[in-house]
Copies of this chain bind each other. A is one copy, B any other.
């Protein structure tokens, strides 16, 4: 019997606490596990000797349910990259593991976190330390290799689709021609921007154009695309990834930040939405507005996907099972089962297969013109946004839990 340690890392999502909830629930039920420690601010909780006792905090089921529905990382997060060489960082981590009798280590995060899992696992093997280390994926970016999709993506996708639908209703009120540009997160992978297409699966056809970072962006083509869409739509709605790049590989948003300064002489670091807004204003002289969905797309638990939240809890539980089954150096993945109706099964793969790789939107999910997704993407993504998480409200605002 030994203790387990769980940490959260990287950018927050609305599903990362559901996974933590799954880990806690399964660890509580495991005879082989004694204490359940939470590392506050990820791996930094080890360096700063900042653990919390999750058995003590989560005594009853009700608080665990609240945790499951709470956005962002309950335990806090970090962006700390372990060095390549096995140095004192590693010694410190494993001394800490030894001191606290950690036999199981679960790390919930994205690409960088899987790098941590990979390195810590290698070191454990190197010093022959008895521990089971499992990475559990989460990211709104959906860019992790080896898994059908990542926990957190479905909820962000549901937020993006629902919000674009609502923005379209808003844009449609005026009679005058207008262009609305919605900038969506995703520096290198366009998965979340692609989710905008799900807004159009109802009665309102929206957005009209979608630009992903997977395809080079041309301002001239962009304006031509809008002109074509304007022939049939007075109000053109466009979803664009923050990470679109021109044919030279330069981020479109950098084209602005390099030039503009404010009255204080600071460089203006703007998003690509603002750049495109200016291009449209200049070229088409019509009403144009750019909207950044900003952090709301990753923290709006009040419109989370029930499918995503349930899968996120499930994968946390399965991670504990895998560790108890003596797996280590693994990343949990969700595999889509071949059946008529959508279902997934958790499995695990060697974390080295996923760490430091990025999964982009494949060509067959993007149309030939590079300005929309194909039905293949919609078929892939639609199951992920199904179901609504019912959150509790107290005094008119959402009821969440915090450390």
Contact = CB atoms under 8 A, between A and B. Distances in A.
Contacts of A398: 162, 165-166
A291 interface: yes
Contacts of A112: none
Q: Tell me the number of copies of this protein.
A: 2
Contacts of A301: 166
Contact of A385 (B175, B203, B299, B396): B396
B294 A291 contact: yes
A169 B382 contact: no
A62 interface: no
Contact of A199 (B275, B296, B397): B397
Contact of A266 (B203, B282, B395): B282
Contacts of A371: none
Interface string A204-245: 100000000000000000000000000000000000000000
Given A41-B175, A261-B259, A300-B163, A202 B394 contact: yes
Nearest to A295: B170
A6 B332 CA distance: 57
A85 interface: no
Nearest to A278: B266
B260 A169 contact: no
Contact of A201 (B73, B259, B397): B397
Interface in A355-399: 382, 385-388, 393-399
Contacts of A119: none
B397 A161 contact: yes
B305 A396 contact: yes
A172 interface: yes
Given A72-B172, A77-B173, A262 B275 contact: yes
Contacts of A289: 295
A260 B268 contact: yes
A33 to B, nearest CB: 26
From A165, A175, A302, A396, residue with most partner B Cβ within 10 Å? A396
Given A77-B174, A262-B256, A300-B163, A158 B396 contact: yes
A204 to B, nearest CB: 6
Contacts of A165: 397-398, 400
Contacts of A162: 302, 397-398
A279 interface: yes
A399 B202 contact: yes
Nearest to A199: B397
Contacts of A393: 388
B299 A72 contact: no
Contacts of A118: none
A44 interface: yes
A10 to B, nearest CB: 9
Nearest to A200: B397
Interface of A: 8, 12, 41, 44, 70-73, 76-79, 158, 161-163, 165-167, 169-175, 198-199, 201-204, 255-256, 258-264, 266, 268, 270, 274-275, 278-279, 281-282, 289, 291-292, 294-296, 298-303, 305, 382, 385-388, 393-402
7 contacts: A76-B175, A165-B397, A169-B400, A172-B402, A202-B395, A260-B262, A260-B263
